[in-house]
Chains A and B, each alone.
Chain A
Amino acid sequence: MERSGSGTSGGQGARPAAHELARYEALFAARTRGMKSSAMREMMALTERPDVISLAGGLPDTSTFPPDLYAHLMADVAMEATARALQYGPTEGMAATVRCIVEVMAAEGTRVDPSEVIVTTGGQQVLDLVCKTLIDPGDVIVAEAPTYPGAVPTFSAYQADVEQVDIDSDGMPIDALEETLDRLHAEGRRPKFIYTIPNFQNPGGVTMSLPRRRRLIDLARERELLILEDNPYGLLRYEGEQLPTLHTLDAEAAGRGGASDLVIYLGTFSKILAPGLRLGWSVAPRPVLEKLNLGKQGADLCSSPVTQMFVAAYFERGAEHGMGWQSYVERLRGLYRTRRDAMLDALEQHFGESASWTRPEGGLFIWATLDERIDTTDLLALARTSKGVAFVPGRAAFMDGQRGSSSMRLNFAGIPEPQIREGIRRIGSAISEQLGLLGSLTGSSPAAPRSAPETGESSPLADVLELPRRDGAAESRRRRDR
């Protein structure tokens, strides 16, 4: 029975045991222990199937970008600058692309100096580089609860200790933030930065109010804390008034005509143009920027010149070819607004009395919270197999993987309206099954889905992120306030 166990046998199919993880385990860095896969993520991998309507992804709708325009612009890049497009580029990004970034930020009322910008490979790279630059194992990051699910693995990989502050309908409550900071101070710990998505938060869908923005900046200046402002959706506002970015407010407070001291800004072309370009950027105080640049050299030398030149050509000549970048964003706004309304409408129809959800003024996501006895990870298992629909279970937005268990993130931007309605109907039917069971188990009658929205007063985004639904369920429900 003795057989060669060292991978040297000559039989067909013999090759080194590349799958023998155990052989490599002793070599892995300690930080890989924090890089864990989860049952939930594995389950979500199973949802990427044609027969499943997925409201799970973070996808914008790239089918709306005119193919002709794409072809024209790529042809222009090829005809005019093939050699440059195929060459390495500068680490900080190409000047023409940086000009586009300055333009995008100006559209949100934020003035930046081109020399303070670094072009990155998607906004995600900014998260990675900022952690690489600032975080030693055990360092504290203060984030929102819930927070961007995609930031969770990044923070874990750098072994950060993440403190999450519960948000409400106006974003991160600064009182709660202050309490957290005081507590950390008492423990002799000081956060390296505060991570926030002020506009149409992912996954919460809520927006930080102007007074809170101001207080956050005051607090940061008072305590000399860095803020990582993640703003992928700022231009995707469907209603209400545009609010100044934290970067702008900090620059005003610093009073030096432009430069912000304490805000590291994260932007991306993914949501206003296309994620396939893998182009994002950061604007940061110069000393931080230099470190980000060094970090990026080690990571990928530079972001793709091909896509950077595509973006530059698009900003310069999109209008000539029939669609300027601003008109495209306008088109997206119109499309996503309709889809958001369709989803809100469908939620009203199918999610029943005991559910509540946010009513985002922009962005891509709605955060819905169900009866607290329903675990949305289990609900996803049921919904995916017997209903053919998927969403992101709320736990994904919490570092401990436990909280948020009765909430879910729903993306309304990526798929057409009929599918949104059908998807919500399917989730609703899974929810009523579970509520029916709960009703049978507790002796109460199951809550029936509401058939028609009530008219009346609107209580903007009240309490929907926490779970106070036992009492006053009706008040905390979202109303359509047209």
Chain B
Amino acid sequence: MSEPLRVAVLQGGRSLERAVSLRSGARVRDGLGRLGHTAIAIDTDGGLIEQLIAARADVAFIALHGRDGEDGTIQEVLEALAIPYTGSAPAACVRATDKVLAKHLMRAAGIPTPPFFALHETVVKELGGAGALPSIEADLGFPLVVKPARGGSALGVKFARQGSELPGAMVGAFSYDFRILLERHIRGRDLAVSVIEDEAPEALPVLEAVPREEDFYDYESRYGIGMTTFLCPAELEPGTTARAQELALEVYGLLGCHGFARVDLMLEQDSGELYVLETNVVPGLTETSLLPQAADAAGIGFDELLARILASALKRR
């Protein structure tokens, strides 16, 4: 039993996932209370540094999703203030949050990820980037998934089933970031493997998200109750489960994650191949979030999960 700590729970913020973050944060504070710690809620919406100093926290629990909380910004601040914090350090945050960078790293390391091309707005605007589209289309084929390079929500993520839908989808994605990703759509099952790290990184049971209606779960179904059914452990061939967990651990190591993370994968229907889509360095901790569900399937209750995440934060120092 660790001694009681003052834990600053960083939540809210200005990202599009503010509401999710507030829900994660509230749940974390409840859990910390049950563990005997003192939780101090800090909404990073304004006056962050001041609040952090005033909180005199022993450790910061980052429950921020999306911009700032996941891209290393807040982590850099905490480094500067010498306050220990949960989860990955800035470098891993940058690598994981930037889907383009993460995919390049994975490709170079031989980890399967759907074929892709990245485009910068400047290339489109000033360098005639449109000229490259036909060859991109020919290479990737349709349907394509278009997404902003950064951002964890499904906002701005669109399908293009044919060439005529591509410009609109791209402009939509450019609303959220200067760089976007055009990725081959992998038809198959949505899997997620969460990793927690106590002594060594450990892959939790594989979770499958089964959308109830759409062929792609959008932002709403991702966070709404009852829109998506989650199966954990997912019903897979034993070899597939082992391979998914192995890939998750490889990616976790490749990006240099710490404490915990969630790796999203696709199991292609026709080929049975696994592909890594992206890694989330601050996975959601709401009631419907995937990490707590996977932990539960491994017999790790929410409070124990928090305790482990907290312990790993203090261990880094």
Which of A's residues lie within 8 Å of B, judged by CB?
1, 3-5, 7, 9, 11-15, 17-22, 25, 33, 36-39, 42-43, 45-46, 372-375, 377-379, 381-382, 401, 434, 436-438, 440-443
The residue among B129, B218, B303 with the most chain A CB atoms within 10 A of its own CB is B303
Could you list 18 examples of A-B contacts with CB < 8 Å? A3-B35, A13-B33, A14-B36, A17-B31, A20-B287, A25-B225, A33-B226, A39-B153, A39-B220, A42-B18, A43-B16, A375-B158, A378-B155, A381-B175, A437-B121, A437-B167, A438-B167, A441-B170
Contacts known (A20-B27, A436-B125, A441-B167); A11 close to B33, Cβ less than 8 A:
yes
Contacts known (A3-B307, A37-B19, A441-B133); A9 close to B36, Cβ less than 8 A:
yes
Please give the distance in Å from B230's CB to the nearest CB on chain A: 12
Contact, CB under 8 Å: A13 / B37: yes
Chain B interface size range: 35 or more
Please give the distance in Å from A468's CB to the nearest CB on chain B: 17
Please give the distance in Å from B55's CB to the nearest CB on chain A: 13
Contact, CB under 8 Å: A437 / B34: no
Contact, CB under 8 Å: A46 / B124: no
Contacts of A434 on B, CB cut-off 8 Å?
171, 174-175
Q: From A14, which residue of chain B is reached at the shortest CB distance? A: B33
Please give the distance in Å from A6's CB to the nearest CB on chain B: 8
Which of B's residues lie within 8 Å of A, judged by CB?
1, 4, 14, 16, 18-19, 23, 26-27, 29-39, 121, 124-125, 128-130, 133, 153-156, 158, 166-168, 170-176, 218-220, 224-227, 286-288, 301-304, 307
Contacts known (A13-B32, A14-B33, A15-B33); A437 close to B224, Cβ less than 8 A:
no
The listed residue (A3, A13, A375) touching B39 by CB distance below 8 A is A13
The 9 closest A-B pairs by CB, nearest first: A11-B36, A373-B168, A13-B33, A39-B219, A378-B175, A382-B175, A21-B287, A441-B167, A378-B172
Contact, CB under 8 Å: A440 / B130: yes
Contacts of B130 on A, CB cut-off 8 Å?
440-443
Contact, CB under 8 Å: B155 / A377: yes
The residue among B29, B36, B218 with the most chain A CB atoms within 10 A of its own CB is B36
Contact, CB under 8 Å: B19 / A379: no
Contacts of B220 on A, CB cut-off 8 Å?
36-39, 401
Contacts of B4 on A, CB cut-off 8 Å?
11-12
Contacts of A22 on B, CB cut-off 8 Å?
287-288
Please give the distance in Å from B130's CB to the nearest CB on chain A: 5
Contact, CB under 8 Å: A36 / B303: no
What is the CA–CA distance of A240 and B124 in the complex, to the nearest angstrom?
A: 48
What is the CA–CA distance of A434 and B133 in the complex, to the nearest angstrom?
A: 18
The listed residue (B26, B168, B176, B287) touching A438 by CB distance below 8 A is B168
The residue among B26, B153, B175 with the most chain A CB atoms within 10 A of its own CB is B175
